[in-house]
Every structure is written in C-alpha cells, then in structure tokens.
C-alpha cells in the first residue's frame, strides 16, 4: 500500500504570513498534482509537476517536486483569507498492477484577516 503523508494536517495563520505544506512518500511518482478544495465543492487542480526538481509558480504559490520524485511542497507567500481551504496532493505511480493513484490526507488551511 502506498502512502502519501501530508503535513501539517491543520494550519491556522494570520493574513500576510508565509506557510509551507509538505507531501512525502517512500514511493516514486511519475507525476504529482496539487488540488484545493473549498467547502461544498469538489477539489480544483492547482498544478501538476512531473520532473524531479521542478519548481512551478502560480502567483503567490510555489510548488516544488523533489529531485527523487518522492516528495513535494507547496509554499504560500503572504497568505490571504481567500487561500483558506483544504489542500490535497495526489501522486500517480506505475506499479506491478499498473497505474496507481494516491491522495494525501489533506492540509486544512485557515487564514484569518
């Protein structure tokens, strides 16, 4: 069974602070995606990373894929209340049984004004 550990599980910060969310595994992923989910809605894709060491930026969000493609991080600069939500990472890997998809447990972020 593959595991994708996300940390922290919960994060409550003030507007303007920076934060980093981590997604770690012992498995190698061919690609890793980050989603954000708001209450009452389904997750929405933020970014996909596929190359070890890759860094992608989306406004104040910076995503990094580990060199070994086993881990990833999401860094938010100057967080705003609109960043509040559940952040999920999801990794695809190729196993003996074919393609496998694993979701992390999520990081619930609250940004207070």
Partner 1 sequence: DAGVIQSPRHEVTEMGQEVTLRCKPISGHNSLFWYRQTMMRGLELLIYFNNNVPIDDSGMPEDRFSAKMPNASFSTLKIQPSEPRDSAVYFCASSFFLAQPQHFGDGTRLSIL
Q: Using CB under 8 A as the criterion, which residues of the chain lie in contact with partner 1 when the complex forms?
A: 30-31, 33, 35, 40-45, 48, 88, 92, 97-101, 103-106
CB of 37 to partner 1, least distance (A): 8
- Closer by beta carbon to partner 1, 47 or else 111: 47
- Closer by beta carbon to partner 1, 76 or else 88: 88
- Closer by beta carbon to partner 1, 18 or else 85: 85
Q: Is the dihedral of CA 32, 38, 39, 42 positive or negative?
A: negative
- Phi then psi for 93, rounded to 5 degrees? -140, 160
Structure token digits, residue 91: 């990794």
The CA-based angle 17-39-93, given to 5 degrees, is 80
């Amino acid at each position: 069974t593959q595991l994708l550990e996300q940390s922290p599980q919960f994060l409550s910060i003030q507007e303007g602070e920076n934060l980093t969310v981590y997604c770690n595994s012992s498995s190698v992923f061919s690609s890793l995606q980050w989603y954000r989910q708001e209450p009452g809605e389904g997750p929405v894709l933020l970014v996909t990373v596929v190359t070890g060491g890759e860094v992608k930026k989306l406004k104040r969000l910076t995503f990094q894929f580990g060199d070994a493609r086993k881990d990833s991080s999401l860094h938010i600069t100057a967080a705003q209340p609109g960043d509040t939500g559940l952040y999920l990472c999801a990794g695809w890997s190729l196993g003996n049984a074919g393609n496998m998809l694993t979701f992390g447990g999520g990081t619930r972020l609250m940004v207070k004004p």
